[in-house]
Structure formats: structure tokens, C-alpha cells
Structure 1
């Protein structure tokens, strides 16, 4: 009788403990999110720069450089803007990993991450909290870019459903690249080194279909650009927005919506565990 009671009480005690771990993991992650958002609120210049850069980029490429560009297959400058703007959405999402890496390395250099590690909190909370924060900021960036694009005369020809799907693949890309940023932020030694990540991000964006079709590039470079994960998301976004112009007939371009899901999932599967493992191995 006493054995049964003891087993019953042990079983009932283990269940709340399991729920408690999940609850505190979510609560700790949300605390990290609130911390970063509070930091933005107290230093609005940071969010102003991060959200202002996409606007300047869209206006620069759309009006200053876009007048000399033509979409694949020919057309007017206005047609090129329809080709360009979905690509600019992709560029903004891809550059986000640099902001993530910079924020993480700043926290690490100031001892904030060491303080987190010394506290009784879920080991994954810092990483997942950073990812959730970046998604919130990404939504704000896309909202501002959308308003700017609409003011420039761009329209999503596919309607609300297609636009929602396009923004979905854009956020999926940002979500995947967030873990690349967290991992790099935990690797680089100081904030100055994090600033050098632009050297990686800029060629990654340029050698893609963000600004020009891979078919217009030299053979080997066009192949690299076509298989660039950013090209897949750019092609999927144009298709979902109803702005698709021309096609080079390559397999990866014909299956851009599929690859826009496969690539981010693959990136997440590789870099999310790496980021968590790197955080857990940091010296106290």
C-alpha cells in the first residue's frame, strides 16, 4: 500500500517538474526578448539605423541605379523596380544576421552572457530569445519596406494570399540566418571583428538574383548565383507577389518556392544546434 502511494506520489511529482522546465524555458526566452526590446526603446537611435537602412537602400537602388537597369527579357525601368523590390526585401532579411552577430558579441564582451550563464535559467533561452527578437524586428523592417515600396508604385499582383506567402518565406529566411548570426557572434572575439562580417554579407547578396538574373552572369558565376539560398527566396517572393519576370529555365529557378523552404530549413538544422552548443561551451 505504501509502495503504491510512494510510486503514485513520485509520478505526480515528475509531471509538474516536466511542465516546469518547459514553462521556465519559455519564460526565460521571453525575458530575453523583453530585455532586447527595452534596450531598443531606451536607445531609439539603434532601431532608427536598423530600420532606416532598408529605406535608403530601396530608394537608392530603385531610383538612382534602377534607371539604368532593365529586367530580364527587357522592359522599362518601372518593370525593373517590380523585379528589384522583392529582391530588396530579401537583401534586408539577409543583412539581419550582421545585426544579430553584432548584438551577441556586444553582450559577450560586456559580460552579459556570462551573467546569464551564472543564473538559474534555461540554457537555450539566450539563443531562442535572440531569435524571437529578430523575428519581431524583421516584421517591423518588412512593414516599413512594404510602405516604401507601395509609395514607389510597386504592387503585389497576386493578392493578399500570395503576399502573405511571400512574407512567410522572407521571415523563414531571416529566422534561419539568425542562427548563423548568433553562432558567429559567439565566435568572433570583439565588436570590431563583427563589423567585418559585411565583407561576407555583401558578396553573398550581390552574387544572387537579388539585383540581376543569374542568366546574365558568366556561366560558372551564374550557376553559383542560381544556387544561392537568397536567389531561391528572391525567386519565390517574386512568384508569390506576382512580380516574376522572365526565367532562365534552370531547375532551381523553376522550383524556387520549394528551395525557399528547403534552404532555410537546412541552414537552421545546421546552425541552430551549433549556436546552442557554442553557448553551452563558453567558459564561465
Structure 2
């Protein structure tokens, strides 16, 4: 355990230094959610039945969760980059815990995401979004967002280690942009056709989005929804536990055995 903690801290520092040495990419990933908030909030919001301020209150939690789901893309790209540039092979030759390397990447991503959430929320407040619930509920919403991001990064790390090239990882990572579109992150799922609503409500993003909206006090839990959305906090925790339980051990095993 002490070895894992020591090695994990070292790998966390490596990943944070990596982000520091690539400020352009860091700025892009931190400002993109804010750009999307401004675009969706003022352009799409004017075309929906919800009034502008009401839609922006609805949108902020959805974009927070969509950003958290972007951990699949960032985890995939970073793992693929290390793998196909020989970094993973060099680390594998060192006396470093096999769990510590992917764990350090996931932990560093969590730190960067937490820091990036602050300016996003400030812009949301400037646009009229407010926390309508309790302080404890708001803290729970942020914790749930970070937990979901952590789970998504493990999915990305596994897929990145599985990829055959950086280009393939980039293309597959870009395709994950579709996932929030098949959820209730941007629009209410109640107005979707029956089969598409079912797909959207069983999307993990929908459960987490509904939970975050409810904890922030921005929107009530919809009636007649599928179980993960009808019980959003429990559904979100179940999805996060499932993703971590499946993909974290798989990523560690894949890292330990290398590319085959």
C-alpha cells in the first residue's frame, strides 16, 4: 500500500507536469466547456421553448456532466500517446507499481478538472445560473461530477491502451462527443420518441445530469422516467461503480501486459 501511494504520487506529479508543459492544450480543454456554454446558452436557448434564463439554468448542469464525460476522450488520448511513443514501455521497466501509472493519470485528470470547474461555474453565475438548493446538495453535486469524471477517465485509459495508434485513439475519442447528444444534457428527454427516450435515459450521462440538476435545485426529477433517471443519485453511483469496477482492473491488466 505504501509503495502504491508513493508511486501513485510520483505518477500524479508526472501527469501534472505534463499538463504544465503543454499550456496550449490545457487552455483549450479548460475554455472549450465555457465556449459551449456561451454558444448553447445564447444561441440554442433562444430557439427552445424554455425562456433564455431558464434554459441556461437547465444547461449548466448538463454541460458540467458532458465535460465530465469528456474524460473518456482525454484518458484515451493520453494513454495512447504514452503507449505509442514508448513512454509506457520505459515506465514498465522501472520498479513502479503497475497500478500507480494509470491511477496517477486518473488522479491528475481529476485535479485539472476540479480546477477547470471553478471558472465554468463563475461564467454560469454571470449568465444567470444559480444554486437553488442547499450548500450540502451543491457539494454533493460537485463530488458526483468528479466521481463520474474519474470513472470516465478509467474507460478512456483502457481504450487508449487498447488502441493501435494515436490517430485511431483520436478518432474514437472524437466520436464520444455524440454521447451527451444522446442524453438529457442539452434538452429534456421527455419530448423524445419512445425508443430514443429509453436510450437517452439509460445513458449514464442522463442519470448524472438529473442528479446534479436535482442537487443544485435547478430542475426536479422527471416523472415516469427509467430507473437511473427516476432515482438519479442512486443510478449515478451505480453507473460510476460499474464503470470503475469493470474498466479500472482491465486498464491495470492491459498496462501490465503491454500491447499484444
TM-score range, shorter chain: over 0.9
Tell me the C-alpha RMSD between the 2 structures: 1.5
1:50 Cα deviation after fit: 1.1
Secondary structure of residue in 2 paired with 1:67: helix
Report 1:69-84 matches (<5 A): 69-70=48-49, 75-84=50-59
Q: Which residue of 2 aligns with 1:40?
A: 19
Unaligned runs of 5+ in 2: none
Unaligned runs of 5+ in 1: 1-21
CA contact (8 A) 2:147 2:240 kept: yes
1:119 partnered with 2:98: no
Q: Which residue of 2 aligns with 1:270?
A: 246
CA contact (8 A) 2:76 2:156 kept: yes
Secondary structure of residue in 2 paired with 1:249: coil
Q: Which residue of 1 aligns with 2:256?
A: 280
1:161 partnered with 2:140: no
In structure 2, the CA distance between the partners of 1:283 and 1:68, relative to structure 1 (3 Å rule), is closer
Alpha-carbon distance in structure 1 between the residues aligned to 2:226 and 2:200: 13
1:259 Cα deviation after fit: 0.4
Please report the TM-score for the alignment, with normalisation by the length of structure 1.
0.87
Alpha-carbon distance in structure 2 between the residues aligned to 1:115 and 1:250: 49
Size of the aligned set, in residue pairs, is 259
1:43 Cα deviation after fit: 2.2
1:227 partnered with 2:202: yes
Alpha-carbon distance in structure 2 between the residues aligned to 1:65 and 1:283: 44
Q: Which residue of 1 aligns with 2:192?
A: 217
Q: Which residue of 2 aligns with 1:101?
A: 76
Q: Which residue of 2 aligns with 1:149?
A: 124
Alpha-carbon distance in structure 2 between the residues aligned to 1:283 and 1:61: 41
Secondary structure of residue in 1 paired with 2:176: helix
1:173 partnered with 2:148: yes
1:23 partnered with 2:2: yes
1:127 Cα deviation after fit: 1.1
Please report the TM-score for the alignment, with normalisation by the length of structure 2.
0.95
Q: Considering only CA atoms, is the larger Rg found in Structure 1 or Structure 2?
A: 1
Secondary structure of residue in 2 paired with 1:170: helix
1:199 Cα deviation after fit: 4.9
1:81 Cα deviation after fit: 1.0
